[in-house]
Amino acid sequence: MTLTHDSAAQFTRVLTESLPYLQKFSGKTIVIKYGGNAMENEQLQRGFARDIVLMKQVGINPVVVHGGGPQIGELLTKLNIPTRFVQGMRVTDSQTMDVVEMVLGGLVNKQIVNLINHQGGKAVGLTGKDGQTIRAQKLNVSSQSPETNTSEIIDIGHVGEVKSIKTDLIDTLIASDYIPVIAPIGVDEEGISYNINADLVAGKIAEVLNAEKLMLLTNVAGLLDKQGQLLTQLSTEDVDYLIADGTIHGGMLPKVRCALSAVKHGVKSAHIVDGRQTHAVLLEIFSNEGVGTLIN
């Protein structure tokens, strides 16, 4: 097919615009948290896999951390295992944790690895248990009692937080030209497994790898102001102010705090990206406009 004058001009403009970014990010590590809508739509899945392979091809080192909440919920329903949530977190007893490991460490992880490999990449799947990559500790959740005005600790089972990250295995994979795909399951000193929020894991991995960027794919356009307009670029001070005045609230708060922590601990920039858009990762990295909110 012959390019028209307009399509040739557009093609050239895109390539020319991307050149400074290709030069800037070559050899750098970018950690991408993958989940939500982008994981459930076949077209978006293929687009994501192609983005990751292209990044590797041009000299960037992508590290993928994935979630899988909807898939966990679906299998729990099929197995007639009841689910309860506390403060937005799934209460995870031993039986539920078995399902979490099956879904995250098995089904979802291998699907993503296969998608990337099918597009010509070299992906390797692992959980935080492999090589003791993610050392976890139990997450303590407290609830304030209005009657007694005291805090009560709620046991939500095998839900953890990151205590530390070992980078040996990730570094080895990157140095050998592989793309690590990591399920957010950690283990404590006693060998007990914990399910950890994928955003938090991605943020901590970005910090210890001294990553150039942390990208959190989500199912909204990015951070919005009180009028619903997209905020395309924010400083850490801007974000602190928007949290304090209530602009950033609810379910977006944990994600934003994770991005904020990463930037304050050495990651050059964090991006909250609309994963519903095809090739969102490439558009955010290689275009002037981007498709989400940049925090630096």
Q: Residues comprising the binding site for substrate? A: 68-69, 90, 195
Query: Can you tell me the distance from the alpha carbon of 178 to that of 113, in angstroms, rounded to the nearest whole number?
Result: 11
Binding site members: 68-69, 90, 195
Residues paired with 164 in a beta bridge: 135
CA dihedral 243, 240, 69, 60 (to 10 degrees): 150
Angle between helices 42-57 and 109-118 in degrees, nearest 10: 60
